[in-house]
Amino acid sequence: MRRSTKIQLALLNNLVWVMVAVFFLFNSVFTPSFLSSRNLLNILFQSATLGLMVLGQGIVMMVGELDLSMEATLAFSPGIAILLGKAFNLPAPICVLVTLLIGTAVGFFNGFCLVGLQTNSFLLTMSTQIVMRGLVLFLVPFSLAKLDPFYTWLGRGRIGPLQVAVLALVLVYAVFEFIFRKTTAGRRFLLTGGNRSAAFISGIHTQRVVVYAFMLAGLLAAVAGLITAGRQNAVSNNMGSGLVMMAFAGAILGGCSFNGGMGKPIGMLGGTLLLGMLDNALTLNGVDVNLVSATKGALIFLAILLDHLRHRLTAWIMHRENIRRLIQPAKSGKGPSEENSAG
């Protein structure tokens, strides 16, 4: 493959980081106070919750599925954990553990029902989302405030000048980037999403991989719930509302596809930072809140459009490269087999 073709494919696969760089440079010039260290740390801090949601959604999309229930899991997990903690006088570390277990259990339920019923993940997780949000509204009519400092440490704590939430975001992405880039277990997610039948024939337990993907999404949503509850020092029934659509946008901008079999955590991090910078820039420029909402909606449309264009351009580049390989031997008077034996 020619170097120019490799560069074109690399740019398409890492398009989000090109967009991040361009957007960063633009706002460095035209947005007041954007480059201040305090503002840059604020972007990372504000992006922590969304970043975990993007990663969880991206993992599910890798296996070719969707999870609409993540935003409800974000509120359901800490809400139920705190209620159980108050009812049984549980210590804060146990409440944290229960929060994570509830999120993982919700993901297991989604994955188990999906592979068991062979139904549509969009409809299944939409029903789970509605049920959990209704339960949270019923069980937590008012905010659960004055949480234990241990429970809020992930959202409010600091290590030096950095918020713990920022360090947690970086650590989680580093771990998952290693898993999906360097381990066989991580590659199974992409293989399952790329061609589930072929992956099953090759010996991958594809149903188990799908369940694992939903469990990871539920776990990450629960961690996002811990950060959100910590930031506001309370659990409210509207936590996470509207985040699932932005999670879709961040995952698609980061290289995931609705067709499955694509995506990597480092790209999802880029999608998260792009959304975080957009929200921050609009706020610093005093844009009306309704226009901010409209801009986010336009960005979701842009993400869908980019997903389509990325597939089309990749297919066209590979088609052009294959045509070149076929034509080049003919011009030199050799057949493809002769050229291969000569090489």
Give the CATH number for residue 302. 1.10.3470
pLDDT of residue 342: 45
Q: Place 340 in a pLDDT band, splitting at 50, 70 and 90.
A: very low
Please determine, for residue 334, whether its predicted confidence score (pLDDT) is greater than 50.
yes
Q: Which residue has the higher pLDDT, 57 or 297?
A: 57
Residue 318 domain-assigned (yes or no) = yes
Q: Is residue 334 part of a domain?
A: no
Domain total in the chain: 1
Query: Is 307 within the bounds of a domain?
Result: yes
One-letter amino acid at 236 equals S
The pLDDT of 179-185, averaged and rounded, is 92
Q: What was the pLDDT predicted at 290? A: 81
Q: Where does the pLDDT of residue 167 fall: very low under 50, low under 70, confident under 90, or very high at 90 and above?
A: very high
pLDDT band at 317 (very low <50, low <70, confident <90, very high): confident
Domain membership of residue 114 (yes or no) is: yes
CA angle 283, 284, 290 (to 5 degrees): 25
pLDDT at 243 over 60: yes
pLDDT mean over 67-92: 96
pLDDT at residue 335, as a whole number: 53
**Domain presence at residue 71:** yes
Over 80: is that where the pLDDT of 122 sits? yes
287/276: higher pLDDT: 276
Whether the pLDDT of residue 195 is over 60: the answer is yes
What domain range is 257 assigned to? 3-329
pTM (2 d.p.): 0.90
228 falls within a domain: yes
Query: Average pLDDT of 56-60?
Result: 97
pLDDT higher than threshold 60 for residue 341: no
Q: Residue 300: its pLDDT value, please?
A: 79
Instruction: Specify if 335 maps to a domain.
Output: no
Mean pLDDT, to the nearest integer, of 12-24?
87
CA dihedral 88, 223, 79, 274 (to 10 degrees): 170
The pLDDT score that the predictor gives to residue 152 is: 96
* Domain-located, residue 242: yes
Residue 330 has pLDDT above 70, yes or no: no
* 291 against 2, higher pLDDT: 291
